[in-house]
Amino acid sequence: MKKKIFIEGMSCGHCSGRVEKALKEQEEINDVVVDLEGKNAVIELNQDLADEKITEIIDDIGYDVVKIEKL
């Protein structure tokens, strides 16, 4: 399963790196691709991870989740 996370507040490579690192630390996530210009991240899950948990992970590092879509 893949999800696309739309994120506000990323403005540089360091920002996208923080988002990528935080998401990759989750055992439910196999892969992360962060698009700084598109202000989103696409994650590939090996098991379900609630949207609320994803939002919490991003919020905890200082960015805002606008919406999450299943792909």
Indicate yes or no: pTM above 0.75: yes
The CA-to-CA distance between both ends of the chain, in Å, stands at 7
Strand partners, 6: 40, 67
Each residue's pLDDT expressed in tens, for the chain with a length of 71 residues: 999 999 999 999 999 999 999 999 999 999 999 999 999 999 999 999 999 999 999 999 999 999 999 99
User: What are the structural domains, with CATH classification, of the chain?
Assistant: 2-70 (3.30.70.100)
18-27 pLDDT, tens digit each: 999 999 999 9
